[in-house]
Structure 1
Amino acid sequence: MSQIDELNSRITAAMERIGAGVMMLAEREAAAAIPDPDLVQALEDERLANSQLEERLRAIKERHGDELAALRAALDVSDELDKLKADLAAQNDAMGRLDMDVQRLRLANEQLRQSNAALRKANESGVGEPHLINKAMLAELESLRAIRATDAAEVSAVLAKLEPLLASAAGLTDGEDA
């Protein structure tokens, strides 16, 4: 029996050591489950900073989108301005040609008047000079050419004015079809 008592005491001692070890492990687990207040505060600070950065990023993206839209609108206006400048240059060229042709017509008409006056004077004095008749015919031909060029320049000027209007009207009609 003495061996039984000894074994019993050994088993009891081992059980107490096992119980103490289990208690120590349970305390460690409980201590590990309780977070460090400094770490919890640091984690909360990081979460707050992260949400603030996300808000700033969203605001920057929104502002960037607004700026991008404004730049696109300015680019569209710039393209329209370039088109209008090109249209104006074409109209100015047409008006310049028209002005030159009108000056040519005035000069040709003045030459025709002078030739006709010289021809009338020669006819009144009874002398029919062939070179005056040729000169008058040449002046009349030049006058007719100048009138034709003036008419063509006027048509060109009118077309230069109408082309942008027709193009914008065609653009509006295409937009309505879409």
Structure 2
Amino acid sequence: MGAGQMSDLDDYQRRIAAALDRIGQAMARPAPAQGGDELARLTRALETEKAKSQQLDERLRALKSRDGAASQDFEEKVEVLTRQLDVQGLELQRMRKTTIALREQLRALNEATLNGGAEGAAINKALLAELEALRATRASEAAELDEILSELTPLVQEAVENA
């Protein structure tokens, strides 16, 4: 519910309260000779306004309750997304470190090759760095898939419930 709708309800509520005040003041005044009919009309009008006021109060309570539930749902979604961003951030840092290590190992391997041949240990280090880079990429992709699944799960549940 937007702020405009809430302010409209508040305005209606103030107008109804003012009308009830006017009716109550009119009923408190001494009745003219034909006061019986006027009093009955005012009493009916008062009852009608009271019923309208009660309906508006109930609508306002329902809207506030619904807005509270929507706010809680939004906060839960923000919390889930924040956790997912944290996981992705950690995986991204891991990938950066691994990429730097891989570049360093490849540079060392290239130097060893240019200087007369690469040693088995240098080749092993380069392969291990490459393997770690692949693992980091896979972990990053897994985190991204988790994020996608967390977004799809509520949609699938809603579709199942509506089917």
TM-score, normalised to structure 2, is: 0.64
CA distance in 2, matches of 1:106, 1:168: 38
1:65-144 maps to which residues of 2 (within 5 A)? 65-144=55-134
- Out of 26, 41, 52, the position equivalent to 1:62 is 52
Aligned to 1:25: none
Aligned to 1:8: none
CA distance in 2, matches of 1:87, 1:169: 19
Aligned to 2:6: none
**Larger-gyration structure (1/2):** 1
Aligned to 1:151: 141
CA RMSD of aligned residues (A): 2.9
CA distance in 2, matches of 1:121, 1:88: 49
CA distance in 2, matches of 1:109, 1:136: 11
Equivalent position amino acid for 1:158 in 2: I
Identity of aligned residues (%): 25
Q: Which runs of 5+ in 2 are unaligned?
A: 1-34
Give the drift of 1:98: 1.6
Q: Which runs of 5+ in 1 are unaligned?
A: 1-44
The C-alpha deviation readout for 1:73-132, integer Å capped at 9, x for no partner, is: 221122122112212221222122122212211221221111011011112111433332
CA distance in 2, matches of 1:90, 1:167: 17
TM-score, normalised to structure 1, is: 0.59
Report how many residues are paired.
131
